[in-house]
Amino acid sequence: MNMYKTTFSFILIFIAVMQALGQKPKLVFSAHWMPQAQFAGYYAAKDQGYYEEAGIEVDIIHPSASVNAVEFLATGEADVISLFLITAMQVKHKGLDVVNIAQLSQHSAIMFVAKKDSGIETIEDFDGKQVGIWLSGFDELPRAMMDKFAVEVEWVPLLSTVNLFLLGGIDVMTVMYYNEFNQIYLSGIDREELNIFFATDYGFNIPEDGLYTLRETAVNKKEELRAFVDATLRGWAFAAKNKDYVLQLVIDIMRDNRIPSNKAHQSWMLDKVLEMIDLDNKNLIPGKLHRDDFMQAFEIIRYQYDLDFQLEYNEFFKPALNLPQSN
């Protein structure tokens, strides 16, 4: 990218040195969920040879419903992982010294859905109701919303299916706009039959997917991570311009991993994830974490877990690319 000319020059110097030594540095990247279009930019970067052009070898791995990407990072099985901003702060609070090296998502895709015939029309109507939430994590923001509105709900942990909601086993379900919301529609419930509650409409527009590594890795593998982020941004740019090609790439990867694939759903997911990455009206460049977004997420973590917890923006956000320090 033109805006990264200086950064790319450093990368080229680094590549030349490594090639002279006859070595190609290797990084292991773990997405924070199983293969799907949410991670299309990484697949595209690898498929198009962007990582190789950047002088690094990248292996892409995925967690399962029972093992998360944070465990891969903590045990050294992965050098860098994707993670929600607010979840990464919780991880930091628990003692794992993670840093954000690039913020990809710039908006929240979290929402609640309820069937219209349930009579649930406002957030206050959630009071006393059973609300499905993911067992795999990412529950901080939904819980914070209930706290804000002083609503007491019965949280029902879910693994990775919308079936309990479809069968009426829960009153409300926490979903991602790019994922479970569309799954519900594809299962036979029209959007007109649902009442939907976007987190963004209630003051909780906290960005999600970012890239994280351990602080020591950020120091010891600085050039490799810089190359990785630069190539990954190229991968997302390619995905935005070549959706049909990348969609088939995603489906092939899902099938190789024995994960059921649905082209219509993955197409919806790719479109919506790209919307989440879009900078929209933010005065930022790709990869930047806005200070205000950091502060809002941090206040939620402090309120929910430990009011004495301290975290500084410049200590948490350690961009792999050379980015302006404003915002």
Report the C-alpha gap between 179 and 134 in whole angstroms.
Answer: 13
**101-119 in b/e burial notation, b at 16+ Cβ within 10 A?**
bbbbbbbbbbbbbbbeeee
Say whether pTM exceeds 0.75.
yes
Q: Which pLDDT belongs to residue 3?
A: 46
Other CB atoms closer than 10 Å to residue 283's CB: what's the count? 9
Would you state the pLDDT for residue 160?
74
β-pair partners for 41? none
Region 110-202: CATH code: 3.40.190.10
For residue 16, what pLDDT is reported? Answer: 55
21: number of Cβ within 10 Å: 8
pLDDT for 9: 54
Ramachandran sector of residue 82 (left: φ over 0; alpha: ψ -120 to 50; beta: rest): beta
Domain boundaries, the chain: 2-107+207-316, 110-202
Q: Do domains 2-107+207-316 and 110-202 have the same CATH topology?
A: yes
Burial of 189 (0-12, 13-18, 19+ CB in 10 A): middle
Stretches where the chain sits below pLDDT 70 are 1-22, 65, 136-137, 324-327
CATH code for the part of the protein at 2-107+207-316? 3.40.190.10
What is the pLDDT, as a whole number, of residue 168? 95
Pairing of strands 26-30, 80-84: parallel
Predicted local confidence at residue 326, as pLDDT: 54
C-alpha–C-alpha distance, residues 215 and 99, integer Å: 6
Strand partners, 147: none
Residue with tokens 């007109």: 192
- Token code pair at residue 191: 């959007």
250-to-49, 67, 105, 245, 288 alpha-carbon distances in Å: 16, 22, 19, 9, 26
Q: Looking at this protein, which amino acid is placed at residue 311? A: L
